Structure 1
Amino acid sequence: MKTLTVASIWLLTIGAAANIDRGENRLEHAALCNLVALTDGTVDIPVVPPVDLTTCQYIQNLNFSAASQEWQDSFYKGDTGKVHDDAQPYHKAFKGHEIYWAGWKAAAAAAKEQTPEPAKKEAGVLALSAATRQHAKRRLQRVAEAAHKLCTASPALSPEQITLDGSKELTKIKAAVFGNPAKDRSSATTNEAFGATPGNARATACAADQANGKAKTVAALLSCICTKGAGTATAANPVCTDKTDGSTGWQEGTGPVPDTDLRAVLKTCASGKGQLITAQRLRAAVEAVRTLMTEDSGAGYLGKFKSTSCNGSSGNGVCVSFAAYGTGPADAFAKLGWPAQLTKLAEDMEDRKTAAAASAQSNAMLRQLADQARAVVDEAEEAAASQRDGTITNGKTKSNVKTAPCSAKTNTTCTRAGCKWEGTSETEGACKPKDREGQTVTEAAKETQCARHTGDRTACENDKTGDKQNCAWRKEKDKDPELENEMCRNGSL
């Protein structure tokens, strides 16, 4: 039986330490495989919703409906009802008419369209009285101006960002991985992965560079850090996984890595089918590779480097070299080319996402402005009707006329009248009396007045206007939750 001497054990330890061990490039393999998995996914290009032009025109139509008759008539050719093609001198007198003309013209055309009245009302084309116009005009102009700014704002995107397409961007990712966007794990070739036949010297081919014949794609990088050495190179134990060695190996000094061995490495990467490729995922994939870089004597390396070169030998290096890494790490890493391309795509996707959120918010604000504009018209119609019926004189309610019942058409006017609004928006809903059905605001005020005398029967019974009793100490007559309690209540009921 043979025994190992201390010296022989020491020599074996030194020999083992001098060689590249099994699995030393597992992390690099995993990081690069993340990029390969991207080729199976779907690029998530955020959709930027278009400006809600229908709502824009609705607000503009309401604004036009409230304009003076002189202003409305100025848009038509005599009595023909046909709109002028271009702004007239009358319109040009208004500052900024150039940017407003298209909207003005469209509103004028909508006013003359031969469409059913309900459809016109739905589009914001209304036949308003002169009094209603007077009440609504100024407020509607302010709403329309705010809407115009939202309707004419453009997303801050470059032409390239506007035309981003998921399918086209995926072809760019595939080109960065395989060298040819039409290839995949099963059809990739060595020549396309390296841009040309990489030559016989593995150390020369496994140098990061966008030049043809160099390690310029993800597939080429995987070959350099995983495929076993052969020929003059002493093969290391499988440095990535057992399946990445390939069958033939890279014959150093004889020829490039065979296509079959290149595909063997690619097939060890997990599938990314069904996954969305987001900007965050792109950035993370690039960063994962960059953080695995190491430096030795001013040169950078991806994969295990021992000495001399990345020739695939267990005593030298199974790696990719980056020249001048020590003086400029970012520039050296950029020699791969594809990191900058994927980072730019991530930036474009992020800008699209920001623009999409801004556009959605603008459209939501437009809908709010449309509700506000409709509420302005409703309030103006109510004010005009009040003036016409003589219920308001010099801005004050006549003392001998009760407040109108709760029939307001908007939340604002309803609550202002002392009623409650039951609805989902400013204009969608119903105005109803508070407390007892049919109670007028005047009666509610009296209840408030009498409530001041709670607990003081004498003060309650002495609350009069001349001989008329304002308050009375009594039980409620109907519908009060405190039917059994005597208290100071409205004396007119």
Structure 2
Amino acid sequence: MAAALLLVSVAALITQITSADVNPGQNAAEHTALCEIIKLAAKDANPESASDEATEHYKKIIKLNMSVAPPSWRAMFFKDNTATKPNSKPSDANVKQAMWDSTWPTWLEAETQLRVNSPDKDVEAAGLAHLSNRSRAMAAEAAATYSAIAPDSPNADKIDNGKAEETLAQAVYGEKAAQADQPTANKVLSTSATHTRDNVCTTTDTNKLQAMLSAAACLCHKLAASNTEGACGAPVQQATGWTDTTTYPDGADLQVLVKSCGRTSTKVLKGSYLKAKLNNLLNLIKVKGADGYLGSFINSCSGNSANGLCVKFTGYAANQDSTIKALPGYSPL
């Protein structure tokens, strides 16, 4: 009897799983991943200040190298044995090396520190008097590597927060001037009588989705002809459905999506944080045939529970990088 009940239960479960319908909550993981990006645009963006650690490390390497340089080399940077009469450029030391012009100030600073701060705590801590030839070579390699690095943007520590907010708003809402929680429907979605949901939710279509928020609409907004409510979870339910070429999500519907994401507690936006959130989203793309799909796909992204609520990445299997860039808002971020 128990075995018979077990078989009935398994059969019922298989019937449910293979019913070829999108079920409530089936896109919850994708909704959460999209929300991690969407809610960043609902607050002031404070980019992380640029770090100058690399420059300081480089200067320390130069100083350590200078401390074990031959006396004749170190003597070039001053007119005498004091630290008060520097040779500010190679020509002042009767040196004709045009390639040294850019590095001379750093060398001079290193020698100045060694003369003023004698003994120098960094030099003592490094124990360079006992440095092996291998270690000396590694230090030289580190200095060469730094010299080959392209310089940072000028005034990188003074990023315009307004520009960062505009970039996030453009990526999420499809417009730079969008206010938090007040998306404009025709900026988020291509709303026209000839634009089907399947077209809008395909990244390569002429009428494709226009912002990250439109991707959330493709995954979460119910179709009027479908009984699928809450595909992204209980908090995401709209008053009206998204009917092909007739009724599109309006501002109120899109506000429901934004508010379902909640707020972020992130006070300082780091590039590494944003990159991680984007990667979390992209890792949810599934491949079927030649294409990739974000969300639940059966045979299309039309919004019907029997077909799928998703975003289609045409040609994803063959070229993931270029296909991903077709997702609106991805490249600016």
Task: Normalising by structure 1, report the TM-score.
Answer: 0.46
Residue number in structure 2 paired with 1:46: 50
**Match status 1:20 vs 2:22:** yes
Percent of residue pairs identical: 22
**Match status 1:187 vs 2:182:** yes
RCO comparison, higher one (Cα < 8 Å, 6+): 2
Residue number in structure 2 paired with 1:341: 332
Most deviating of 158-167 and 216-225: 158-167
| Distance of 1:289 and 1:340 partners within structure 2 | 14
| Distance of 2:149 and 2:156 partners within structure 1 | 9
| Distance of 1:341 and 1:16 partners within structure 2 | 40
State the 1:241 CA deviation.
2.1
> Aligned to 2:309, what secondary structure does the other structure show?
strand
State the 1:282 CA deviation.
1.4
- 2:242 alignment partner AA: W
Asked whether the equivalents of residues 226 and 238 of structure 1 are also in contact (C-alpha less than 8 Å), the reply is yes
How large is the Cα RMSD of the aligned pairs? 4.4
| Distance of 2:263 and 2:160 partners within structure 1 | 19
Residue number in structure 1 paired with 2:216: 222
Q: Which structure: greater strand fraction?
A: 1
State the 1:270 CA deviation.
2.0
State the 1:198 CA deviation.
8.2
Output one character per residue of 1:231-250: Cα deviation in whole Å (capped at 9) or x when no partner. xx323131012232211121
Q: 1:290 to 1:176 in 2, by over 3 A?
A: same
Q: 1:311 to 1:337 in 2, by over 3 A?
A: closer
Q: 1:30 to 1:50 in 2, by over 3 A?
A: closer
- Which runs of 5 or more residues in structure 2 are unaligned? 1-7, 64-73, 109-114, 117-142
| Distance of 2:157 and 2:289 partners within structure 1 | 45
Q: 1:259 to 1:184 in 2, by over 3 A?
A: same
Which of the residues 226, 248, 252 maps onto 1:260? 252
Residue number in structure 2 paired with 1:205: 200
**Match status 1:311 vs 2:302:** yes
Which of the residues 152, 170, 173 maps onto 1:178? 173
Asked whether the equivalents of residues 224 and 318 of structure 1 are also in contact (C-alpha less than 8 Å), the reply is yes
Alignment of 1:145-160 (within 5 A): 156-159=150-153
Q: 1:220 to 1:198 in 2, by over 3 A?
A: farther
Residue number in structure 1 paired with 2:320: 329
State the 1:223 CA deviation.
0.5
Asked whether the equivalents of residues 323 and 332 of structure 1 are also in contact (C-alpha less than 8 Å), the reply is yes
- Which runs of 5 or more residues in structure 1 are unaligned? 1-5, 76-85, 107-122, 125-148, 343-493
Residue number in structure 2 paired with 1:117: none
Q: 1:22 to 1:185 in 2, by over 3 A?
A: farther
Q: 1:163 to 1:14 in 2, by over 3 A?
A: closer
State the 1:283 CA deviation.
1.6
- 1:271 alignment partner AA: R
- 1:319 alignment partner AA: C
| Distance of 1:283 and 1:239 partners within structure 2 | 26
Alignment of 1:51-450 (within 5 A): 63-64=78-79, 66=81, 91=92, 93-96=94-97, 99=101, 156-159=150-153, 162=156, 165=159, 167=161, 168-194=163-189, 197=192, 199-209=194-204, 213-230=207-224, 233-307=225-299, 309-342=300-333
- 1:194 alignment partner AA: L
| Distance of 1:286 and 1:252 partners within structure 2 | 29
- 2:318 alignment partner AA: T
State the 1:335 CA deviation.
1.3
Output one character per residue of 1:41-86: Cα deviation in whole Å (capped at 9) or x when no partner. 4221324379899xx9xx99x934537xxx99xx9xxxxxxxxxx9
State the 1:274 CA deviation.
4.3
State the 1:15 CA deviation.
10
Q: 1:326 to 1:204 in 2, by over 3 A?
A: same
> Aligned to 2:330, what secondary structure does the other structure show?
helix
Q: 1:254 to 1:314 in 2, by over 3 A?
A: same
- 1:26 alignment partner AA: A
Q: 1:185 to 1:51 in 2, by over 3 A?
A: closer
| Distance of 2:154 and 2:293 partners within structure 1 | 34
